[in-house]
Amino acid sequence: MFTEKREARMNIEMSNIFIEKAEKGTMYGRFWLLNYNNLGVEFKCKNREIEFNYPYEDEKEQKYFSVWLLQEKEFYTSFLLNYLNEITKFNHITFSKGEIVREICREILRNKCYIIRIKYEQLPGIVKFQSFPSNGKFEILYRVPIAINSKREYAGVISIENILESEAVKRMWEPFRDKTKYRLQLLHVLR
């Protein structure tokens, strides 16, 4: 029943993917499989090896996960390694050229949030820096330009500051720190 349909064609068919955290060289994330009733699959990537997990007890979904794992594990492993590689490439890019395309300051839960969108010459998409100076929180958000399904949709933006080396984050921010109209408010961010 289920297996016959999937053997006919092999496409990446996700509704979304995101990285939950990265620590000590290991990335943890999750994605949802469109062809398996939007089944959520967790993954862990360490040393270019990926482990998949379905952490819930639902029997029907556990069977879907087993079928998916048997038939498509290697295909999705290759895709995820490529996807994660696109992010880690940032560690080797010199981010000196680009422009600030939008700057705003908003109040979120009584904290000022500064949002700076930068278009780098070296990247196809826009990088969003989001800073909450009052609590020291700083995020870098990016949408990886790799389609995650046959409709050519991209995943949502993901937080990448914990995935990147600290030097790469500084190289991304430093050339634009003094160019933002909020430079005084963001003076101590990433110093």
Last residue of a domain, one of 38, 58, 90: 90
Number of domains making up the chain: 2
Q: Give the closest residue to 151 by CA, choosing from 39, 31, 13, 5.
A: 13
Last residue of a domain, one of 90, 110, 137: 90
Q: Give the closest residue to 142 by CA, choosing from 128, 162, 161, 121.
A: 128
* Residues 65 and 38 both lie in one domain: yes
Q: Which residues contact 37 (CB under 8 A, 6 or more apart)?
A: 61, 64
* Residues 19 and 86 both lie in one domain: yes
* Residues 74 and 96 both lie in one domain: no
Pairing of strands 111-120, 26-33: unpaired
pLDDT score for 22 = 85
Identify the domain containing residue 35 by its residue range: 2-90
pLDDT score for 190 = 59
> Is residue 188 included in any domain, yes or no?
no
> Is pTM, for the whole model, over 0.85?
no
pLDDT score for 1 = 35
The pLDDT tens digits of the residues spanning 157-180 come to 999 988 888 899 989 988 888 888
pLDDT score for 10 = 67
* Residues 85 and 100 both lie in one domain: no
CA–CA distance, 107 with 130 (Å, rounded to integer) = 12
DSSP 135: T
User: Which residues in the chain come in under a pLDDT of 70?
Assistant: 1-10, 187-191
Contacts 24+ apart (CB under 8 A), 144-149: 144/83, 144/86, 144/87, 145/86, 146/82, 146/83, 146/86, 147/12, 148/12, 148/14, 148/15, 148/16, 148/17, 148/31, 149/11, 149/12, 149/13, 149/14, 149/15, 149/34
* Residues 105 and 169 both lie in one domain: yes
SS3 113: strand
Last residue of a domain, one of 90, 114, 144: 90
* Residues 147 and 108 both lie in one domain: yes
